[in-house]
């Protein structure tokens, strides 16, 4: 039975669309940072900021997570010569999940650390982001003559990060602040490794 040939495209438009979605997600994150309007009578700005810091913490972790995902996607897309229709579709799915990051960050800001479900949704979404990103990296590598052996980046995103997501989902009910801290540390570590290594996909 004859199979349909997969179409291939240059990666420039894929990168441009990805940059646009990430820019929108980052913009939506900062728009959620709001102070009481009008401010409570007799309460100073310093008091408001020190007691209502949770939205800013959620914003910071979300920015770090988005930066980490963008760098991996960009690192992959910038080194490929072509991408198949499969890779383009996976990237669309990845961007769809990325667009939900501001929503979960907003939930964390609203419910602060008192609602484990908000943190669990955030952790689950980051795990899902990682799974789809790992799938994207694998597909891009296959499009450009990669082997069936998974690269370190694929293994990390398809196996390690989802396991970490399960751990942080459980952790959300025990030590809520640590859920966000773990994702912050993991994301910073990935960015540092990417910036200091010659090729993150080896």
- pLDDT tens digits for the chain (202 residues)? 444 556 777 778 888 899 999 999 999 988 877 766 666 677 777 776 777 677 777 788 889 899 999 999 998 988 888 888 899 999 999 999 999 999 998 888 777 777 889 899 999 999 999 999 999 999 999 988 877 778 888 998 999 999 999 999 999 888 887 888 888 888 888 888 878 875 544 4
95 lies in some domain: yes
Count of beta carbons in the 10 Å neighbourhood of residue 195: 10
141, part of any domain:
yes
Question: What phi and psi, each to the nearest 5 degrees, are found at residue 131?
Answer: -60, -45
CA atoms within 13 A on the CB side of 103: 10
Examine residue 174 and state whether it is found in any structural domain, yes or no: yes
According to DSSP, the β-strands at 83-84 and 8-9 are antiparallel
Question: Is 136 within a domain?
Answer: yes
Is 21 inside any structural domain? yes
Distance CA 140, CA 146 (A): 8
In a domain, 1, yes or no: no
2 falls within a domain: no
Separation of alpha carbons 174 and 106, rounded Å: 21
Residue ranges making up the domain that contains 184: 9-196
Number of domains the chain is built from = 1
Whether 4 is covered by a domain: the verdict is no
């Amino acid at each position: 039975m004859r199979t349909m040939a997969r179409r291939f495209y240059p990666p420039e438009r894929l990168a441009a669309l990805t940059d646009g979605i990430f820019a929108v997600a980052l913009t939506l994150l900062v728009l959620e940072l709001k102070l009481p309007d009008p401010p409570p009578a007799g309460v100073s700005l310093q008091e408001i900021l020190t007691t209502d810091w949770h939205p800013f913490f959620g914003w910071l972790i979300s920015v770090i997570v988005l930066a980490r995902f963008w760098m991996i996607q960009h690192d992959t897309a910038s080194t490929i010569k072509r991408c198949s229709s499969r890779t383009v579709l996976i990237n669309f799915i990845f961007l769809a999940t990325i667009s939900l990051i501001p929503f979960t960050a907003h939930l964390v800001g609203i419910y602060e650390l008192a609602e484990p479900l908000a943190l669990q949704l955030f952790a689950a979404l980051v795990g899902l982001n990682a799974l789809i990103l790992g799938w994207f990296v694998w597909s891009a590598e296959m499009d450009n003559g990669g082997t069936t052996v998974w690269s370190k980046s694929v293994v990390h995103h398809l196996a390690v990060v989802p396991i970490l997501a399960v751990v942080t989902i459980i952790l959300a009910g025990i030590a809520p602040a640590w859920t966000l801290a773990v994702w912050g540390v993991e994301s910073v570590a990935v960015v540092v490794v990417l910036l200091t290594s010659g090729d993150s996909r080896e």
